[in-house]
């Protein structure tokens, strides 16, 4: 059995995503299962080097997880030939420069979304990666959620007949930070620091809709900064300059209409923090992070509008839960495994920096649409 060690420069591992999802739940989880076994029996062993700005924090993390390699010197980590992959989970504003540096050093790159703050930068990055002949990938974690895998299974089965519309409801209340600490980092609420819900969430909506329902063709968005003042990690008040809610209408190929609400300023009255409600001629479904409920044409009740009478239906009871029929591993880990197999054995891999650029494109057009108050076409890249 061949064992193949792959050095991975992991930048931004002191952050929420870098630490929890990418280091602990992905790379360390792959090591705990004994590595990643490829189709030909080769075992890929990821060997991370933790990179960041604060040596003490990195040392503490490395010690906690029995790792030995950490540094504040990105250039030195990239100069080490045993490191084949550069991974980026830094704040969005720091991403382009670091990815460029890694591409120039000849590393394969894998990154969080959004890949850049502008479409021009996102496309330039993808072009540079292609010209350098390196392999590149972008996180598309929502596609691996059990709820969306079930929804995709339904679409592929023809369950919906002709899909008419999709309603995406995403959001929850993010505390302002004064009397209860905010549960998201403060940079998310400052546009000058790469914040804003459109830049954060529209890249996700792009790959979810493109892959699960149909390609996105146009966008109209209304955005708001509902909460103009928040309190940061130090307890200091700051002006919130970024959008904290966006209300969008998208057209998808085939005349499908998607209405997509994204909000950090709403209180949840849903079964999950995000739901995708799909209506088709033959049936409907509501998918969340984990679950997916369906109602078929043949089991659709016939409510009659009559405000004089109390509601006679329990509408939620008229849906049935889809069976699991599968086991679902952490989505970030599954995508890491696909990327490692792509790097080591050229296995198929779908979400490259051009896919990342399509996500940034929808965010950029969403912001432009909101500023100009008009619908914009989403052209092919």
Ligand X SMILES: NC(=O)c1ccc[n+]([C@@H]2O[C@H](COP(=O)([O-])OP(=O)(O)OC[C@H]3O[C@@H](n4cnc5c(N)ncnc54)[C@H](O)[C@@H]3O)[C@@H](O)[C@H]2O)c1
Tokens 């619908």 correspond to 375
Work out how close the CB of 94 gets to ligand X at its nearest, in angstroms, rounded to a whole number: 4
Q: How far is the CB of 248 from ligand X (least distance, A)?
A: 18
Element housing 262 (H / E): strand 256-263
How far apart are the C-alpha atoms of 129 and 259, rounded to whole Å?
A: 34
Q: How many CA atoms lie within 13 A of 22 on its CB side?
A: 28
Binding region for ligand X (CB under 6 A) out of 1-9, 89-97, 172-180, 288-296:
89-97
Query: Residue 79: exposed, middle, or buried by beta-carbon count in 10 A (0-12, 13-18, 19+)?
Result: exposed
Q: Residue 17 or 124: which CB sits closer to ligand X? A: 17
DSSP 118: S
- CA dist 208 and 289 (Å) reads 12
Choose, by CB under 6 A, the member of 58, 67, 77, 89 that binds ligand X. 89
DSSP annotation of 246 reads E
Q: Which of 7, 14, 108, 358 forms a contact with ligand X (CB under 6 A)? A: 14
> Measured between alpha carbons, how far is 373 from 199 in angstroms, rounded to an integer?
18
Q: Does 117 engage in binding with ligand X (CB under 6 A)?
A: no
Alpha-carbon distance of 246 to 168, in angstroms, equals 12
Taking the C-alpha atoms of residue 261 and residue 254, their distance in angstroms, rounded to an integer, is 21
Tell which one of 117, 121, 141, 352 touches ligand X (CB under 6 A).
Answer: 141
Cβ proximity to ligand X, 89 vs 102, nearer residue: 89
Query: CA 18 to CA 32: how far, in whole Å?
Result: 18
User: Which helix (DSSP H) or strand (DSSP E) does residue 103 occupy?
Assistant: helix 95-104
**Is residue 115 close enough to count as binding ligand X by CB under 6 A?**
no
Distance of closest approach, residue 216 Cβ to ligand X, in angstroms? 19
Answer yes or no whether residue 18 interacts with ligand X by CB under 6 A: yes
The answer to whether residue 200 forms part of the interface with ligand X (CB under 6 A) is yes
> Is residue 196 a contact residue for ligand X (CB under 6 A)?
no
244 sits near ligand X (criterion: CB under 6 A): no
CB under 8 Å to 5, separation ≥6 — which residues?
A: 45, 47, 82
From 9-17, 121-129, 151-159, 304-312, give the range in contact with ligand X by CB under 6 A. 9-17
Q: Rounded distance, CA 360 to CA 95, Å? A: 13
Give the residue nearest to ligand X (CB): 15
139 touching ligand X, by CB under 6 A: yes
What is the DSSP-derived secondary structure letter of residue 323?
A: P
In the bound complex, what is the minimum distance in angstroms from residue 51's beta carbon to ligand X? 9
Q: Which position among 62, 91, 227, 289 is part of the footprint of ligand X (CB under 6 A)?
A: 91
Is 112 a residue that touches ligand X (CB under 6 A)?
yes
Query: Is-contact 87 111, C-beta < 8 A?
Result: yes
Give the x/- contact pattern for ligand X in 294-333, rule: CB under 6 A: ----------------------------------------
195 binds ligand X (CB under 6 A): no
**Cβ(85)–Cβ(9) below 8 Å:** yes
Tokens of 202: 């529209």
Q: Judged by CB, which is closer to ligand X: 21, or 284?
A: 21
- Kindly state whether residue 121 participates in binding ligand X, applying the rule CB under 6 A: no
350 binds ligand X (CB under 6 A): no
Among 43, 118, 153, 185, binds ligand X (CB under 6 A): 185
12 counts as binding ligand X under rule CB under 6 A: yes
CB 108 within 8 A of CB 85: yes
Which member of 83, 92, 225, 284 binds ligand X (CB under 6 A)? 92
Residues in touch with ligand X (CB under 6 A):
12, 14-18, 52-53, 89-92, 94, 112-113, 139, 141, 185, 200
């Amino acid at each position: 059995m061949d064992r193949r060690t792959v050095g991975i420069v992991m930048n931004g591992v002191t952050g929420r995503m870098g630490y929890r999802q990418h280091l602990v739940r992905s790379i360390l989880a792959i090591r705990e299962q004994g590595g990643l076994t490829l189709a030909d029996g080769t075992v890929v062993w990821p060997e991370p080097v933790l990179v960041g700005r604060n040596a003490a924090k990195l040392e503490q993390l490395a010690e906690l997880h029995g790792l030995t390699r950490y540094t504040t010197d990105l250039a030195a980590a990239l100069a080490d030939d045993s490191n084949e992959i550069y991974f980026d989970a830094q704040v969005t504003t720091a991403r382009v420069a670091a990815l460029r540096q890694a591409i120039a050093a000849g590393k394969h790159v894998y990154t969080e979304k959004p890949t850049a703050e502008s479409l021009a930068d996102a496309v330039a990055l993808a072009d540079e990666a292609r010209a350098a002949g390196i392999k590149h990938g972008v996180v598309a974690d929502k596609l691996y959620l059990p709820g969306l895998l079930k929804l995709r299974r339904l679409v592929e089965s023809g369950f919906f007949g002709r899909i008419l519309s999709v309603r995406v409801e995403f959001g929850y209340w993010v505390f302002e930070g004064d009397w209860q600490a905010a549960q998201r980092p403060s940079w998310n609420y400052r546009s000058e620091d790469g914040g804003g819900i459109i830049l954060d969430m529209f890249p996700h909506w792009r790959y979810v809709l493109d892959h699960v329902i149909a390609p996105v063709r146009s966008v109209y968005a209304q955005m708001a900064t509902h909460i103009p003042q928040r309190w940061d990690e130090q307890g200091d008040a700051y002006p919130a300059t970024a959008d904290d809610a966006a209300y969008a209408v998208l057209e998808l190929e085939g005349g499908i209409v998607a209405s997509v609400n994204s909000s950090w300023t709403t209180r949840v009255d849903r079964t999950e923090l995000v739901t995708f409600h799909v209506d088709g001629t033959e049936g409907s479904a509501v998918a969340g992070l984990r679950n997916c409920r369906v109602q078929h044409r043949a089991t659709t009740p016939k409510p009659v509008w009559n405000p004089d009478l109390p509601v006679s239906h329990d509408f939620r009871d008229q849906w049935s839960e889809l069976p699991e029929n599968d086991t679902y591993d952490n989505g970030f880990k599954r995508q890491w495994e696909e990327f490692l197999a792509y790097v080591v054995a050229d296995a198929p891999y779908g979400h490259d920096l051009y896919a990342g650029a399509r996500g940034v494109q929808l965010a950029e057009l969403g912001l432009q649409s909101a500023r100009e108050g008009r619908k914009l076409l989403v052209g092919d890249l």
